[in-house]
Amino acid sequence: MKRLNLLILGGTSEASALARRLAREPGVAPILSLAGATDNPAPSPVPRRIGGFGGAGGLAAYLRDKRIDAIVDATHPFAERMSANALAAARATATPLVVFTRPPWKPQEGDRWIEVQSFDEAVDALGARRRTALLTQGRLQLAAFARAPQHRYVVRAIDRPPEIDALPDCKLILARGPFALVDELALMRNERIDVLVTKNSGGAATYPKIEAARALGLGVVVVQRPKPPKAQTLHALDDVMAWIEAHRATP
């Protein structure tokens, strides 16, 4: 069987888990691709490249140049542009592609969720009265909260987001997940959080904040996911490994 040149579009715990698994597979030559969104990405067990490709056209050229045989799109469910580009480039070059992602979280008994479609709606959902909101949704949407300066914001991020300067009453906590339930409970209690704002990222690594909010009876503003890419989608690492194996066997 041939050695499969596999491009993993990463930036998630799914991509890291796949890379760790493939590091032990002699039949696959993986390349893990990251956007370069964080200053100090975690070490990679497989060869890695960092930075954008230059749109769908740039990615198609990369696929041809590196003789990529298959793509696993393991980007975050909110990385809409990358997933759309990946699908377009895969079609243009007839490269097989599978999406490896986690299912969304579903509200459980005791959850006090307000589900919204956008960050603009999330800002509105905080209301007019002053509250302390824990923002964990990532740097890109921080600036949206500047139009609700009546609230106190506690922002958790991996690197200092420049957008934070737009928020007048704000505390920054620099940390990289996964976070344990006990730590999430302590953070919410110590900072007197009233409401949590989060994307519906899904997955286990960041779920303890949802459990902590449930335990403390806090409201959670949950931003729903964008439309998923129209491609074969798998949720389990073993299924992705089987998909890769099937493409190794294809001449």
Q: Which of 5, 41, 81, 225 binds ligand NAP (CB under 6 A)?
A: 81
Cβ 49 to ligand NAP shortest distance, Å: 8
Residue nearer to ligand NAP on the CB measure, 82 or 213: 82
Cβ 60 to ligand NAP shortest distance, Å: 11
Can you count the helices (H) and strands (E) in the chain? 7, 12
Can residue 52 be called a binding residue for ligand NAP (CB under 6 A)? Answer: yes
The C-alpha atoms of residue 216 and residue 195 are separated, in whole angstroms, by 10
The C-alpha atoms of residue 175 and residue 234 are separated, in whole angstroms, by 29
Can residue 62 be called a binding residue for ligand NAP (CB under 6 A)? Answer: no
Residue nearer to ligand NAP on the CB measure, 28 or 31: 31
Residue 238's SS3 state is: helix
Cβ 8 to ligand NAP shortest distance, Å: 8
Can residue 80 be called a binding residue for ligand NAP (CB under 6 A)? Answer: yes
Q: In the stretch 170-209, what mask flags binding to ligand NAP with x, by CB under 6 A? A: -----------------------------x----------
Residue nearer to ligand NAP on the CB measure, 194 or 240: 240
The C-alpha atoms of residue 72 and residue 10 are separated, in whole angstroms, by 9
The C-alpha atoms of residue 105 and residue 204 are separated, in whole angstroms, by 9
Can residue 34 be called a binding residue for ligand NAP (CB under 6 A)? Answer: yes
Can residue 57 be called a binding residue for ligand NAP (CB under 6 A)? Answer: no
The C-alpha atoms of residue 100 and residue 31 are separated, in whole angstroms, by 15
Degrees (nearest 5) of the Cα angle 90, 96, 97? 70
Long-range contacts of 56-61 (CB under 8 A, 24+ apart): 56/84, 56/85, 56/86, 56/88, 56/89, 56/92, 57/89, 59/85, 59/86, 59/89, 60/88, 60/89, 60/92, 60/93
The C-alpha atoms of residue 185 and residue 168 are separated, in whole angstroms, by 25
Q: In the stretch 113-152, what mask flags binding to ligand NAP with x, by CB under 6 A? A: -------------------------x--------------
The C-alpha atoms of residue 31 and residue 211 are separated, in whole angstroms, by 35
Interface with ligand NAP in residues 88-107 (CB under 6 A): none
Tokens encoding 51: 């930075």
* Binding range to ligand NAP, per CB under 6 A, among 46-54, 92-100, 106-114, 213-221: 46-54
Cβ 109 to ligand NAP shortest distance, Å: 27
Q: Which residues bind ligand NAP (CB under 6 A)?
A: 9-12, 33-35, 37, 52-55, 58-59, 75-76, 78-82, 85, 138, 199
